[in-house]
Amino acid sequence: MSTALAQARLSRLVIVDVQERLARAMEPQAMQNVVRNVSLLLQAAELLEVPALYTEQYPKGLGATLPELAELLSGKPRVEKTAFSCCDEPTFCRHLSHDRPHIVLAGMEAHICILQTALHLKQQDRNRVIFIAEDAVISRNSSARMNALERLHTAGVIVSNTESIIFEWLGKAEGEAFKQISRLLR
């Protein structure tokens, strides 16, 4: 079981499939919370120079990434996929590097794409540390989400939350990034 703390200089943020048609299938309040937390992760990543990328599952059928996140993702690598695991898309794997072994996952659905991606990432490279921001992942069914988080934890994935990850990235309460992030979290 890993006790690693997420470190900004070692991290990469991956936002998985937060798309229009998928979002409509989610419980509205839970979806709103996930969008808020994904937004916080993206803004903190930008301030702390943590590279981010995002995926879209079959965008022709499931639509584009939600407009409320699109601006924050502007200029970030976008990976289209049809496989559930991001790792089964070669373009995704090309964006990963050994100098960023901490992978932070957020998005949907927890019991499908998040689960398969996290397990594959762990399987591909034992030196990788995978973090799930549990309050930034969602499934249509809350029991499927909880089951996925339990499976991931048992498999050695670190199930954390948005604020913990952000404050681990920060490391200390000083500097301009800390001030800006503190304002975001209020």
State yes or no: is 88 an active-site residue: no
158-160 and 78-81 beta bridge pairing:
unpaired
CB-based contact 49:139 (threshold 8 Å): no
Is the distance from CB of 66 to CB of 89 less than 8 angstroms? no
Task: Give the chain's largest Cα–Cα span.
Answer: 45
Catalytic residue, candidates 86, 113, 122, 135: 113
Candidates 81, 86, 87, 135; catalytic one = 81
Annotation marks residue 113 as catalytic: yes
81 is catalytic: yes
> What's at 126, amino acid-wise?
R
138 has which bridge partners?
108
Mapped to the 3 state alphabet, what secondary structure does 44-79 carry?
Answer: HHHHCCCCEEEEEECHHHHCCECHHHHHHHCCCCEE
3-state secondary structure of 29: helix
Which is the catalytic residue, given 17, 86, 87, 122? 17
How far apart (Å, rounded) are the C-alpha atoms in residues 37 and 137? 9
**17 CB neighbour count, 10 Å cutoff:** 24
Please list the active-site residues. 17, 81, 113
